[in-house]
């Protein structure tokens, strides 16, 4: 009898964990595979929250997060430590997700050992290596290394084919974030206490129209972040509006937001939310204002319009479908777009009812089936 294939699943941030835990669960349920989980802890606290709710205990925890870490220092540490894990485990394949430094270094360390790499959420491209930065280059590096490319949409597939990736190496799977969101939403319905930390805010802002905000993108640090903060201040001045903003731990975000928004009656600056609480925020928000990639996929699954505070997006499917709109970081533009959705019912409904192009909740199963075919070869 053939031994199960060892799949080393590498991730380090909260978004990676959210998008990979459905795949880890599917691998665990399939006797053809033995998943080995290695986390870099690129996001320590936020990562641990997802691991806890998903019931994942890492086989290797590198704990590489350091204060004010440089990208080159982080990358060097990742490459060295992930290589050490691969040498110890001798996996048959390495799986990475998305576009983080952890994913890029994991793919590169595997390539140095001639281990095939499977890329979940492959093919996202903005066409600008500095937007988002450094993610655009990270995912292009992974794309040049990967053996299997699990593209979330046909647009991502087309981007890979345009880069001469062989068609039989690409599979359109949908995005695993929809698998994760459906699972956690069901868990909250069964166990409301999982998201009880927002009960007080829901009571405090009863009757108000809630705007959910997330912001952490590196290219927005400095002037962009200051413009975003001013826009939020003006939006929150409306008496019918409340803003709930889980503030990223990065001091480049916290300094700006605390200085501009702390103490405002209609603004709740709160600590980063674990996954169930964030899913609940998506549920109660009327609009999501974000520079995140994942929110562009998650919010439309719940019928929530997304205004994206970036100049470009590697998820143009949402813009094309009408679920998302690029608004940049200029204060007046953000405020105008928010007020349009608040005051124009047709404009709001056109976005809220648009088809979500990012998946149907069965992406992890498609990925594991394709892996099974691959090892069968």
**Is 248 one of the annotated active-site residues of the chain?**
yes
Catalytic residue (one of 216, 280, 310, 366): 216
Q: Nearest-CA neighbor of 36 among 109, 76, 88, 79?
A: 88
Catalytic residue (one of 81, 99, 179, 298): 99
**Tokens of residue 86, six digits:** 């691969």
Burial of 79 (0-12, 13-18, 19+ CB in 10 A): middle
**Tokens of residue 33, six digits:** 């595979």
**Is 218 one of the annotated active-site residues of the chain?**
yes
Catalytic residue (one of 135, 219, 297, 337): 135
Burial of 235 (0-12, 13-18, 19+ CB in 10 A): buried
Distance (Å, rounded) from C-alpha 151 to C-alpha 163?
A: 14
Cα angle: 133, vertex 137, 138; to 5 degrees: 95
Q: Which residues contact 174 (CB under 8 A, 6 or more apart)?
A: 152, 153, 358, 359, 360, 361, 362, 363, 366
**Is 99 one of the annotated active-site residues of the chain?**
yes
Concatenate the DSSP letters of all residues of 16-42 into one string. Answer: HHHHHHHHHHHHHT-TTEEEEEEE--S
Concatenate the DSSP letters of all residues of 71-110 into one string. Answer: HHHHHHHHHHHHHHHHHHH--SEEEEETTSHHHHHHHHHH
Catalytic residue (one of 248, 280, 310, 366): 248
Distance (Å, rounded) from C-alpha 225 to C-alpha 122?
A: 29
Q: What are phi and psi of 150, to 5 degrees?
A: -95, 95
Q: Which residues pair with 306 in a beta bridge?
A: 288, 324
In eight-state DSSP terms, residue 210 is E
Distance (Å, rounded) from C-alpha 32 to C-alpha 369?
A: 10
Q: Nearest-CA neighbor of 303 among 278, 323, 319, 277?
A: 323
Q: Nearest-CA neighbor of 292 among 308, 278, 276, 303?
A: 308
CA atoms within 13 A on the CB side of 123: 30
Catalytic residue (one of 218, 325, 333, 370): 218
Distance (Å, rounded) from C-alpha 59 to C-alpha 61?
A: 7
Catalytic residue (one of 30, 92, 118, 121): 121
**Is 216 one of the annotated active-site residues of the chain?**
yes
List residues with catalytic annotation: 99, 121, 135, 216, 218, 248
């Amino acid at each position: 009898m053939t031994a199960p294939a060892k799949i080393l699943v590498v991730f380090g941030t909260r978004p990676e964990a959210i998008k990979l835990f459905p795949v880890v669960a599917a691998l665990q349920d399939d006797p053809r595979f033995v998943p080995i989980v290695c986390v870099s802890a690129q996001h320590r606290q936020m990562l641990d929250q997802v691991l806890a709710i998903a019931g994942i205990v890492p086989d290797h925890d590198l704990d590489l997060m350091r204060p004010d870490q440089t990208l080159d220092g982080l990358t060097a540490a990742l490459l060295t430590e992930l290589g050490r894990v691969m040498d110890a485990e001798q996996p048959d394949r390495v799986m990475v997700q998305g576009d983080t430094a952890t994913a890029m270094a994991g793919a590169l360390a595997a390539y140095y050992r001639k281990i095939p790499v499977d890329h979940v959420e492959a093919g996202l491209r903005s066409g600008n290596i500095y937007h988002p930065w450094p993610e655009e280059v990270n995912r292009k590096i992974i794309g040049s290394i990967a053996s299997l490319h699990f593209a979330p949409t046909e647009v991502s597939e087309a981007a890979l084919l345009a880069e001469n990736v062989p068609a039989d190496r690409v599979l359109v799977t949908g995005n695993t974030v929809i698998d994760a969101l459906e699972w956690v939403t069901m868990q909250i319905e069964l166990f409301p206490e999982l998201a009880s930390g927002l009960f007080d805010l829901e009571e405090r802002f009863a009757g108000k129209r809630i705007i959910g905000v997330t912001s952490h993108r590196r290219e927005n640090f400095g002037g962009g972040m200051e413009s975003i903060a001013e826009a939020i201040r003006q939006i929150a001045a409306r008496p019918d509006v409340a803003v709930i903003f889980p503030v990223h731990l990065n001091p480049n975000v916290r300094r700006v937001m605390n200085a501009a928004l702390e103490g405002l009656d209609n603004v709740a600056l709160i600590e980063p939310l674990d996954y169930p609480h964030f899913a609940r925020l998506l549920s109660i928000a009327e609009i999501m204002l974000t520079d995140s990639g994942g929110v562009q996929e998650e919010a439309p699954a719940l019928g929530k319009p997304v205004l994206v505070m970036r100049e470009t997006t590697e998820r143009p499917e949402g813009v094309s479908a009408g679920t998302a709109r690029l608004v940049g970081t200029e204060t007046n533009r953000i405020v105008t777009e928010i007020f349009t959705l608040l005051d124009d019912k047709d404009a709001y409904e056109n976005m809220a009812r648009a088809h979500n192009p990012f998946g149907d909740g069965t992406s992890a199963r498609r990925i594991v089936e394709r892996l099974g075919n691959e090892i069968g070869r």
